[in-house]
Amino acid sequence: MALLPYFTESVRCGFPSPADGHEESLDLDDFLIRNPNATFMLRAAGDSMTGIGIYDGDLLVVDRAEPIAPGRIVIARIYDEFTCKRLIRHSGAWWLKAESSTMPPFPLPEDSEIFGVVTRNIHDLLKV
């Protein structure tokens, strides 16, 4: 991937302040990917994760080498289909929880697999 200009000064999302203009280079691979050999990307579909800012069509960076832990956003394979949900522990079992009030949490079926942990979400702000 190409190196892109990177201004080290943070941009304020409240009251504006003058930037100092210090520029470096940023390799997006280094920023987005922790474990290149275990990372893949896929597109989100649906609206069950909008509560944490994952929208239909967003690009998800998924790392298979990241530890599986409660509270993480994961990609699970259930009945040969992928789903993106928050992984939680409930009554000693793994459950999947949508970030939408319209979908209740549900237990992870026995024959399913946690395929990886979502580490980044790329959202297209120009999409209407």
101 in active site: no
The C-alpha atoms of residue 84 and residue 44 are separated, in whole angstroms, by: 8
Cα dihedral 85→87→92→93 (10° resolution): 40
The C-alpha atoms of residue 49 and residue 81 are separated, in whole angstroms, by: 17
Of 10, 17, 25, 48, catalytic: 48
97 in active site: no
Of 17, 25, 85, 101, catalytic: 85
> Which single residue is written with the structure tokens 């079992």?
93
As annotated, the active-site residues are: 48, 85
